[in-house]
Amino acid sequence: MPDPGESRRVRTARAIKAEALRLGFEACGIARAERLEEEEQRLETWLLEGRHASMSYMERHFEKRVDPTLLVPGARSVVSVLRSYYQPVSVSEDEALGRVSRYAWGDDYHRVLKRDLYALYHWIDEHHGPIAGRAFVDSAPVMDKVWAARSGLGWIGKHTNLISRQLGSWFFIGELIIDLPLAYDEPVRDYCGSCTRCIDACPTDAIYRPYVVDSNRCIAYWTIEHRGDTIPEDLQADFGSWIFGCDICQEVCPWNKFRRATTEPGFLPRPGVTDTPLARWAELDLKAYRKRSKGSALRRARFEGLQRNVRVARGNRTEQEPN
């Protein structure tokens, strides 16, 4: 006989996915909340090898990072969502301009995604609850890419970003970890195949082997997470004009031909973020920096860090900068 409980879980899962799409997410998948036994060993090895550089926060709460039931007692399901941030705006190849990673062109994604994740949470609670749980957007010990992959939304590519056959990789990931049992999705296979474009294109060889990134050589780490006054001289020349983050591995990925333009107005480029010369970035004082970075992920680098990055990028210029 059919299991009425399973039928209910299937219907509820379908309804949650439909509501997620209505709220503006591009995709939604669901995985069973359980310990990440396969990923646990890989994470431990990566940390022991020091591949996380100075990001000591990745060492903290290790058990919670690999077991969602420690974050949310009684957790049964991890609901993952994707939200495109790709802006249909051409990127200038003018090396005199300071380059900022696409994800920081608009409003801070933490706020935008959490707003809609909370809306989804309250909808589930109202229509299929009561439930208990939490919403997560890259701000807690949650392995978001792993959970999205487990829920069938894509696979983790050789550059360690999640790739979707329908969306490419220009998207943010968010999760709801809740105590509601649901029907669970199956992971999809890895479609990277023999392609090594991301590895070949990385100017600092940060992708030192497929599916593993060494933060000690990653431009995004040095221009965002690093809090020191200097950047290793042997890496600086490879930074080009990047002053916040790096998109090279995503720019060369063939799967991003399937990218989808964002429908979120808050992710569209703020004035000056894509076309400001390095010389102008260098002229920003603290007040101007705060005004420009208010409500933006640019705040992550802090004023001193951004100015350090601009100095490195200007040092890489071989031609006279425009005023």
- Over the stretch 201-250, which tens digit does the pLDDT of each residue have? 999 999 999 999 999 999 999 999 999 999 999 999 999 999 999 999 99
Q: How far is CA 225 from the centre of its chain?
A: 14
Handedness of CA 272, 277, 281, 284 (dihedral sign): negative
| pLDDT band at residue 168 under the 50/70/90 scheme | very high
88 C-beta neighbours (distance < 10 Å), count? 9
| pLDDT band at residue 2 under the 50/70/90 scheme | low
For residues 284-295, give the mean pLDDT.
95
pTM for this predicted structure: 0.94
Task: Determine the pLDDT at residue 93.
Answer: 82
**Mean model confidence pLDDT for the chain:** 95
Which residue has tokens 């190849």? 93
For residues 106-129, give the mean pLDDT.
96
Task: Determine the pLDDT at residue 6.
Answer: 87
Task: Determine the pLDDT at residue 319.
Answer: 58
Percent of the chain at pLDDT exceeding 90 = 92
For residues 150-167, give the mean pLDDT.
98
Whether residue 155 is predicted with pLDDT greater than 60 in this model: the reply is yes
Rounded CA-CA distance 199/154 in Å is: 19
Rounded CA-CA distance 66/250 in Å is: 26
Q: Which residues are catalytic?
A: 138
* pLDDT tens per residue, range 71-85: 999 999 999 999 999
- Residue 69 contacts residue 249 (beta carbons within 8 Å): no
Task: Determine the pLDDT at residue 320.
Answer: 52
The three state secondary structure string of the chain is CCCHHHHHHHHHHHHHHHHHHHCCCCEEEEEECCCCHHHHHHHHHHHHCCCCCCCHHHCCCHHHHHCHHHHCCCCCEEEEEEEECCCCCCCCCCCCECEECHHHCCCCHHHHHHHHHHHHHHHHHHHHCCCCEEEECCCCCCCHHHHHHHCCCCEECCCCCEEECCCECCEEEEEEEECCCCCCCCCCCCCCCCCCHHHHHCCCCCCCECCECCHHHCHHHHHHHCCCCCCCHHHHHHHCCEEECCCHHHHCCHHHHHCCCCCCHHHCCCCCCCCCEHHHHHHCCHHHHHHHHCCCHHHHHHHHHHHHHHHHHHHCCCCCCCC
* pLDDT tens per residue, range 33-63: 999 999 999 999 999 999 999 999 999 999 9
Rounded CA-CA distance 13/178 in Å is: 13
Task: Determine the pLDDT at residue 314.
Answer: 97
Residue 322 buriedness (CB in 10 A; 0-12 / 13-18 / 19+): exposed
Task: Determine the pLDDT at residue 233.
Answer: 95
Percent of the chain at pLDDT exceeding 70 = 98
For residues 295-320, give the mean pLDDT.
91
Residue 305 vs residues 144, 225, 255, 298: alpha-carbon distances, Å: 26, 9, 32, 10
Of the candidate ranges 85-94, 153-162, 166-175, the one whose mean pLDDT is the lowest:
85-94
